[in-house]
Structure 1
Amino acid sequence: MQSTDSTLIPSAIFKLIITLALQLRTLPTLAALSLCRNSCGSIAIKYPFGLDDGCGAPQFRHMLNCTTDLFFTTPSGIYKVQSIDYDKKSMVIYDPAMSTCSILQPHHDFLMTPIQSIIIPPTSDTVFALLNCSIDSPVLNHYKNLCFNFSGHSCDELYGPCNAFRVFHLLSNSSPPCCFTGYDTVKYMSMDILDCSHYTTVINTDDLKGMGPLDWVYGIKLTFSVADTGCERCEQSGGSCGFDTETEGLVCLCSSYMNSTRECAAGSITAEGQSHGPPRLLFQALVLILGTFLRMMTLS
């Protein structure tokens, strides 16, 4: 009976060693996998943005999602991202339900969360054109100072050349009031309060002087700010900037099993100065089991 036990135990230990060795063999492959996706379609994804939870800056958490295209999410909807310029720190999004010169859509509001309004608001050269407004609209009365002309353009230009907006002129046999305004107006007043039936948005308005609405660029340009968190140091060391999903503290993502608070140094040392990666733990277990196995073989 003792002979059977002494045979089974080394055999079981030997099988365990083989299993651990095979797992250890696959770890370099796991380490090579990137934790954070760095693109969606043709658009590069860099800090402060992230597609996977824990990637990028925590303030931008859950703002972007990637299916076949990249989308920006706000309380009022999901908007297709057309481009991101990391040098100029700007993003251009497009509302598929927005009216333009060529298509008339039912009106709705453009809403952002309070944090989005602070860290990634529409740029000053993004103009909201409120169309077919009632004569009782607050922006035509008490808050008429919120309306302005941009680059010498007027409301009549929209009701004339634009096929989609010409219907307003035909229905009233005149040009109904409209208002060119900024994001702060629609931020604090809904379209129902503004009493305007439709809206469109135009970007790069500083470059549109002398250009008709058929040549305007429609969309919403957002500008984002990036806090100096030492991310550049992490990226230069081969890591990706991210955050702890529970504490939202800065983390340098070094591999699929090791992180650091600053940079990806040799051994991926953490803030406490200790490596917590599975390779080290598996290696120690392998040595311990192998030593036990050899001792038992010697005793037998």
Structure 2
Amino acid sequence: MASRKQPLFNFNILILFLFLEPLQVHSVCRNFCNNIPINYPFGIDDGCGTPQFRHMLNCSTDLFFITPSGNYKVQTIDYNKKTLVIFDPAMSTCSILQPHHDFVMTDIQSVTIPPSPDTIFVLMNCSIDSPVLNHYKSLCFNFAGHSCDELYGACTSFKLFHLLSNTTPPCCFTSYNTVKFMSMNILDCSHYTSVYNVDSLKGVGPLDWLYGIKLSYSVPDTGCERCAKSGGTCGFDVETEGMVCICSASNNATIQCGAGIGMNAGKSLRASSLLFESFLVLLLIFHVILL
């Protein structure tokens, strides 16, 4: 009898794992990463938020915005103004000078969550042959009355440009579109930094500028408000990317949670769970009979 019980036991364990595997679904969406709230349209768990921003955020030690050129730490998300501020750890600031680094976004990111109009990119220590000082000089514009000389003179790290050249090297205040279509090598500028909320920086010295990149986004109209009012969390089917209302770890609906319209049309796992429980009972009965 002992030789028959062991294979049967192993068989039951195998069946148990086979049935448990398809029943794994994402838990209710996490709504915080450290101290930053994660709300619609964003999500840090796949299937949460909206598919337009799928895989753009990652929550490890901190919250990061993911692009082809690297991971950028998220400083704040303002859901009322629909903005997200990120910081490039490889760019230069008033306190640190770093080699030039391209900021690259995907085509989808450039459309759905581009840098805001009040974010500028400062190209520094440009050569006299730089395209933005010649054929494309129209790409450079006046930034609240600030000058290259002021920038190089105010910041500890940027003073090096003055010391090395004994003059004021050209710089360029420009928009995201410039760095979007031309790399730093093409622009022929050795360093860059970015500043946001520039509309409020007139008369404010470089030491007090807000360094970082502010991104602006819009919220797609997917009927999320109805889902949220019913106690659910807006998400999407990871295969079809169709909108779903996540009601619990094992129950999703197409429109809203509870007994509302569309509940029966939702992708619910309750029936599968009951079927699995029934199977376990039958398996145990079969096991006892064979004993």
Is 2:272 aligned against 1:269?
no
Task: Return the index of the structure with the highest Cα Rg.
Answer: 1
Code of the residue aligned with 2:168 in structure 1: it is S
Code of the residue aligned with 1:63 in structure 2: it is M
CA displacement at 1:278 relative to structure 2: 4.1
> TM-score, normalising length from structure 1?
0.81
For 1:275 and 1:141, the matched residues in 2 are separated by 63
Alignment equivalent of 2:85, drawn from 84, 92, 95: 92
Alignment equivalent of 1:225, drawn from 215, 218, 233: 218
For 1:155 and 1:125, the matched residues in 2 are separated by 19
CA displacement at 1:265 relative to structure 2: 2.1
For 1:124 and 1:274, the matched residues in 2 are separated by 43
Q: Which residue is 2:97 aligned to?
A: 104
Code of the residue aligned with 1:139 in structure 2: it is V
Contact 1:106/1:198 (8 A) holds in 2 = yes
What are the superposed Cα offsets for residues 65-99 of structure 1, whole Å, 9 maximum, x if unpaired? Answer: 01121000000110000000000000000011110
What are the superposed Cα offsets for residues 36-79 of structure 1, whole Å, 9 maximum, x if unpaired? Answer: 11000000000111001111100101100011210000001100
For 2:140 and 2:131, the matched residues in 1 are separated by 10
Q: Which residue is 2:6 aligned to?
A: none
Alignment equivalent of 1:171, drawn from 154, 164, 184: 164
Is 2:27 aligned against 1:40?
no
**3-state DSSP class of the match of 2:39?**
coil
Change (3 A) 1:69 1:159: same
Q: Which residue is 1:139 aligned to?
A: 132
For 1:73 and 1:262, the matched residues in 2 are separated by 30
Q: Which residue is 2:110 aligned to?
A: 117
Following superposition of structure 1 onto structure 2, how do residues 211-222 of structure 1 map, counting pairs within 5 Å? 211-222=204-215
The runs of 5 or more residues in structure 2 that have no matched partner are 1-11, 13-23, 286-291
Change (3 A) 1:131 1:273: closer
For 2:55 and 2:267, the matched residues in 1 are separated by 31
For 1:116 and 1:274, the matched residues in 2 are separated by 32
Change (3 A) 1:275 1:160: closer
- Give 4+ residue runs of structure 1 displaced > 3 Å after superposition: 272-286
Is 2:160 aligned against 1:203?
no
CA displacement at 1:256 relative to structure 2: 1.3
Q: What is the identity percentage for the equivalent residue pairs of Structure 1 and Structure 2?
A: 68
Following superposition of structure 1 onto structure 2, how do residues 287-298 of structure 1 map, counting pairs within 5 Å? none
The runs of 5 or more residues in structure 1 that have no matched partner are 1-15, 17-29, 293-300
Change (3 A) 1:273 1:73: closer
For 1:113 and 1:74, the matched residues in 2 are separated by 7
CA displacement at 1:277 relative to structure 2: 3.6
For 1:145 and 1:274, the matched residues in 2 are separated by 57
Contact 1:82/1:93 (8 A) holds in 2 = yes
Change (3 A) 1:272 1:106: closer
Change (3 A) 1:272 1:57: closer
**3-state DSSP class of the match of 2:52?**
helix
**3-state DSSP class of the match of 2:248?**
coil
Is 2:244 aligned against 1:256?
no
For 1:270 and 1:183, the matched residues in 2 are separated by 47
For 1:113 and 1:219, the matched residues in 2 are separated by 19
Change (3 A) 1:274 1:61: closer
Q: Which residue is 1:185 aligned to?
A: 178
Aligned length: 263
For 2:123 and 2:266, the matched residues in 1 are separated by 56
> TM-score, normalising length from structure 2?
0.84
For 1:274 and 1:61, the matched residues in 2 are separated by 22
Contact 2:144/2:198 (8 A) holds in 1 = yes
CA displacement at 1:274 relative to structure 2: 7.9
Aligned-residue Cα RMSD (Å) equals: 2.6
What are the superposed Cα offsets for residues 194-226 of structure 1, whole Å, 9 maximum, x if unpaired? Answer: 000000001110000111100111000000111
For 1:71 and 1:274, the matched residues in 2 are separated by 32
For 1:252 and 1:272, the matched residues in 2 are separated by 8
Query: Which shows bigger deviation, 204-213 or 274-283?
Result: 274-283
